[in-house]
Amino acid sequence: MTEHTTPDPAGPEVTTAKAPGGGSNAVAEPGEAGVAEALSLGRASSFSLDVELRSVGQGLRDYVNKVRGGEPGALPSVLGLIVLGVIFSQVSSQFLSKSNIGNLPGQGAYIAIIALGLVFVLLLGEIDLSAGTAGGLCAAFAAQAIASGGLRGGIPGSSSLFYILVAVMVLALALGLWMKNYIGMALIVMGLVIVLFKLDQHVFAALLFTIGLGAAIGVITGFLVAKVGIPSFIVTLAMFIAWQGVILFALNNQPISIGNFKLWYKLGHENMSVLWSWVFGAVVGGGYLLFTLYRSFRAQQRKLAADSYGLVLVRGGIVLAASLVITYFANQNRNSNPNFEIKGIPWAASVPIALMILCTLVLTKTTWGRHLFATGGNSEAARRAGIDVVHVKVSAFIACSSFGALGGLFLTTSQNSASLDLGSSNVLLFSVAAAVIGGTSLFGGRGKARDAIMGALVIVIIPNGILLRPNLPAAYQQVITGGVLLLAAAVDALSRRRSRAT
pLDDT at 10 over 50: no
pLDDT at 84 over 90: no
Check residues 166 and 84 and name the one with the higher pLDDT. 166
User: Sorting pLDDT into bands at 50, 70 and 90, what band is 6?
Assistant: very low
- Residue 132 near residue 410 (C-beta atoms within 8 A): no
pLDDT at 155 over 60: yes
User: Sorting pLDDT into bands at 50, 70 and 90, what band is 94?
Assistant: confident
Of residues 112, 221, 176, 174, the one with CA closest to residue 451: 112
* CA dist., res. 139 & res. 145, Å (int): 10
Q: pLDDT by residue (tens digit) across 177-222?
A: 999 999 999 999 999 999 999 999 999 999 999 999 999 999 999 9
The residues near 495 (Cβ < 8 Å, ≥ 6 apart) are 70, 71, 72
One-character DSSP codes across 233-281: HHHHHHHHHHHHHHHHHHHTT--EE-TT-HHHHHHHH-B--HHHHHHHH
User: Sorting pLDDT into bands at 50, 70 and 90, what band is 474?
Assistant: low
The residues near 469 (Cβ < 8 Å, ≥ 6 apart) are 91, 92
Q: In terms of C-beta density within 10 A (0-12 exposed, 13-18 middle, 19 or more buried), how is residue 290 classed?
A: middle
Q: In terms of C-beta density within 10 A (0-12 exposed, 13-18 middle, 19 or more buried), how is residue 275 classed?
A: exposed
Question: 391: which strand partners?
Answer: none
Domain boundary assignment for the chain: 79-270+346-501
Asked which of 226-235, 355-364, 433-442 is least confident by mean pLDDT, the reply is 433-442
pLDDT at 26: 42
For residue 436, the SS3 value is helix
State which H helix or E strand residue 362 sits in.
helix 347-365
Of residues 239, 195, 234, 189, the one with CA closest to residue 216: 189
Asked which of 191-205, 223-237, 415-429 is least confident by mean pLDDT, the reply is 415-429
- What are the two backbone dihedrals, phi and then psi, of residue 130, each rounded to the nearest 5 degrees? -100, 5
- What are the two backbone dihedrals, phi and then psi, of residue 3, each rounded to the nearest 5 degrees? -125, 150
Q: pLDDT by residue (tens digit) across 295-327?
A: 999 999 988 888 889 999 999 999 999 999 999
One-character DSSP codes across 376-416: HH-HHHHHHTT--HHHHHHHHHHHHHHHHHHHHHHHHHHHT
Q: How many residues does the chain have?
A: 502
Q: pLDDT by residue (tens digit) across 440-459?
A: 888 888 889 998 999 899 88
pLDDT at 39 over 60: no
Residue range 244-268: mean pLDDT, rounded: 93
For residue 53, the SS3 value is strand
pLDDT at 500: 66
Of residues 215, 175, 220, the one with CA closest to residue 194: 215
What is the overall mean pLDDT for the chain? Answer: 85
pLDDT at 490 over 90: no
The residue type at 298: R
* CA dist., res. 319 & res. 331, Å (int): 18
Check residues 37 and 465 and name the one with the higher pLDDT. 465
> In degrees to the nearest 10, what's the CA dihedral of 159, 130, 408, 116?
150
Residue range 233-246: mean pLDDT, rounded: 95
pLDDT at 501: 65
Query: b/e map of 26-45 (b: 16 or more CB within 10 Å)?
Result: eeeebeeebeeebeeeeeee
Check residues 188 and 8 and name the one with the higher pLDDT. 188
- What are the two backbone dihedrals, phi and then psi, of residue 25, each rounded to the nearest 5 degrees? -85, 180
Q: pLDDT by residue (tens digit) across 382-412?
A: 999 999 999 999 999 999 999 999 999 999 9
Of residues 296, 251, 23, the one with CA closest to residue 137: 251
* CA dist., res. 141 & res. 249, Å (int): 9
pLDDT at 476: 74
In this structure, the number of other CB atoms found within 10 A of the CB of residue 435 comes to 32
- Residue 99 near residue 420 (C-beta atoms within 8 A): no
pLDDT at 198: 92
Residue range 12-29: mean pLDDT, rounded: 41
Check residues 497 and 243 and name the one with the higher pLDDT. 243
Check residues 488 and 253 and name the one with the higher pLDDT. 253
State which H helix or E strand residue 24 sits in.
strand 24-27
In this structure, the number of other CB atoms found within 10 A of the CB of residue 212 comes to 26
Of residues 250, 182, 236, 213, the one with CA closest to residue 402: 213
pLDDT at 31 over 80: no
Report the Cα 394 to chain-centroid distance in Å: 16
Sheet holding 14-18, edge to edge: 2-6, 14-18, 24-27
pLDDT at 32: 43
* CA dist., res. 240 & res. 247, Å (int): 11
User: Sorting pLDDT into bands at 50, 70 and 90, what band is 76?
Assistant: confident
pLDDT at 288 over 90: yes
Q: What percent of the chain has pLDDT over 70?
A: 87
pLDDT at 241 over 60: yes
> In degrees to the nearest 10, what's the CA dihedral of 87, 440, 221, 138?
-40
The predicted model scores a pTM of 0.86
Tell how strand 24-27 and strand 14-18 pair up: antiparallel
pLDDT at 462: 86
Check residues 33 and 375 and name the one with the higher pLDDT. 375
* CA dist., res. 297 & res. 308, Å (int): 9
* CA dist., res. 450 & res. 322, Å (int): 15
* CA dist., res. 232 & res. 369, Å (int): 20
pLDDT at 240: 95
User: Sorting pLDDT into bands at 50, 70 and 90, what band is 496?
Assistant: low
